[in-house]
A = this chain, B = another copy of it.
């Protein structure tokens, strides 16, 4: 299978990152980061989540953050919500580019921890969401399968288990006569490896032909970019990523520090460009955004390219020198 010619990368840093940082970062700074990402050509940016301000105080001012954005035409500024209350709050904010997402879980324990319901119960509730989005006139754009590769609570997620979840999704789409544009496999806590990625992408294509496969990869154990490369060679052209590798899990790591977060946007864009794949993103401007994120957060972030610079910078230098 050959590499895609173009890849779509959705930026999640402002939400994935700042939801686990300490609260208190000024709206002006977070808006500046979103704007820098849009200026770099990121076509879709998840700005914030509308979730319980008690559980996630860092996102309590999501509405104010959206209101503060200087939006760029053609860029989508999205939000995350997990329940009807969050959805209602998001709908009340005109700057949110509303998009419908369905969530499925490949692990019962993880579903119970996040939602208080089994994976099967939570999957059944997605039918209500289909109706809710229909009533609101919002297109369902994507479905996610969480812990699609493995779960810290349940251990390995077998391919059979995942296939069962995907069969359930196919069933729901048929029952609801819903055409689903995208399905993402989410490696929520970093269990994937490059061969598992390819085999599980195949499962999606078998169960849901015609649905575009996306990947939401975490770099928890250092395999994020390798997993993305394996997916690119398998024709996947849709990824979530996080600027500077923002995000991560203070609860999911070894005692000697917190675990890494999402795969790093600019490192992924660099991989694509070096492989001759177009992304629509200006890598130098994206690096500016990554360095801005690092200045805002005030500590060294995980991204590699941001601390080394691109190759084009050296190529230009070499041409000048010779």
A-B contact pairs, 23 of them (CB 8 A): A154-B322, A155-B318, A156-B318, A190-B308, A193-B271, A193-B274, A194-B275, A220-B304, A221-B308, A221-B311, A222-B264, A222-B270, A222-B305, A223-B267, A223-B270, A223-B274, A225-B225, A225-B226, A226-B228, A254-B309, A256-B294, A257-B307, A258-B307
How far in angstroms is the closest Cβ of chain B from A243?
A: 13
Whether A152 lies near B314 (C-beta < 8 A) is yes
Pick from B153, B254, B274: contact of A306, CB below 8 A. Answer: B254
Q: Scan residues 157-173 of chain A and give those whose CB is less than 8 A from a CB of chain B.
A: none
Given known pairs A294-B256, A307-B257, the reply for A267 and B222 (CB within 8 Å) is yes
Q: Which residues of B contact A5 (CB under 8 A)?
A: none
Q: Which of A298-322 contact B (CB under 8 A)?
A: 300, 303-311, 314-315, 317-319, 321-322
- CB–CB A220/B308 < 8 A: yes
B221 & A256 in contact (Cβ 8 Å cutoff)? no
The reply to whether A223 and B225 contact each other, CB–CB distance below 8 Å, is yes
How far is the CB of A286 from the nearest CB of chain B, in Å?
13
Q: Determine whether A66 belongs to the interface, using a CB cutoff of 8 Å to chain B.
A: no
In the complex, A221→B275 CA distance in Å?
14
Give chain A interface residues in 209-268, CB to chain B under 8 Å. 219-223, 225-226, 228-230, 252-254, 256-260, 264, 267
